[in-house]
Structure 1
Amino acid sequence: MFKITTILCPVDFSDASRKAVQYAKEFARSMEASLYLLNVVEPRPMAVDISLNYVPLEADLEKASMEDLEVIMQELIHGGFKASCGVEIGNPADVILDKIDECNANLVIMGSHGKKGLSRLIMGSVAETVVRKANCPVLIVKTEEKEFIE
């Protein structure tokens, strides 16, 4: 029988990813698997800001994300789960796919914002890319985006 030992759960702090963490907890509990929470900070293009307003750089975003992830991880550990976390900088789909191999994940549980139409075409879908290219099963936890005219 196939044994799930490590579950990778990408977290972007959206409602969809928070819901995915809940699913990951249930799977981890029933399978006695460890959880790895991952946040990916996308690189921002450098631009000259003539207004001299401070714009957080990747390092600042990485530090803030790690602090937020550690709060979730500590809650998991106090709940009896084996959990760890990390923050990476890069393209979300590529980083998630690399992390699957790096942490020997047997299952990925991730949220999807349910974008449709033009917004999906322009933004792409991290979840879709991961499903297509991952070398392990991927469970997508969906939350539908409300329909609105763009």
Structure 2
Amino acid sequence: MEYKNVMVAIDESDSSNLALKEAIRLTKEFNAKLHVLYIVDETIFNKVDEYVEFDLLWSAHREFGEKILNKAQQVLNTSEVDFTTKLSELKPNEGRLAEKIVSEANSLPADILVVGTHGRKGFSRLFLGSVAENVIRIANLPVLLVRELKL
């Protein structure tokens, strides 16, 4: 299989940083183009107290996403790969985060999607679920999960 478009979904986690490194490796191996995605999740504000100023909170969350992409761009600038970055927004009527990630990958279209996983176990996994697990369930393209090794 050959990959021409590699997409990696990132956040602020260590596993996301590892996913970015693995996506860079894949991109170099296949002489592909790398597409880096950060999603600003508006759905987390569904239960925000009415006394909190939504626009201010939203602006801060969006700014945080831009900082994450800028940090990734610094790594990418030294990696010698062709890349793009995208800040996307998940609105409450657009479903869940995993669905948005897969939708962005399909609209590219990406040949493979790279996602970091936090490797939760037990009750935290049961109650919190896993974006990565949901991506695998609904994706119609290859997905590479990158997990942090804990020694």
TM bin, normalised by shorter chain, reads 0.7 to 0.9
Give the alignment partner of residue 102 of structure 1, picking from 69, 93, 107: 107
> Structure 1 CA distance, aligned partners of 2:150 and 2:137?
22
Give me the CA root mean square deviation.
2.3
- Percentage of identical aligned residues: 27
| Structure 1: 5+ residue stretches without partners | none
The question of 1:70 aligning with 2:70 is answered yes
The offset of 1:61, in angstroms, is: 1.3
Amino acid at match of 2:50: V
Instruction: Give the counterpart letter for 1:47 in structure 2.
Output: D
TM-score by length of 2: 0.83
The match for 2:16 is 17
**What is the TM-score normalised by the length of structure 1?**
0.84
In 1: Cα distance, 2:38 partner to 2:9 partner = 6
On the 8 A contact 1:115/1:144 being kept in 2, the answer is no
Find the counterpart in structure 2 of residue 137 from structure 1.
142
Structure 2: which 5+ residue stretches go unaligned?
91-95
| 39 and 32 in structure 1: CA distance in 2 versus 1, 3 angstrom threshold | same
1:4 & 1:84 partners in 2: Cα distance? 16
Q: Which has the higher helix share?
A: 2
Which residue among 117, 123, 143 is the counterpart of 2:122?
117
SS where residue 69 of structure 1 aligns? helix
CA distance in 2, matches of 1:15, 1:103: 26
Q: Which residue is 1:6 aligned to?
A: 5
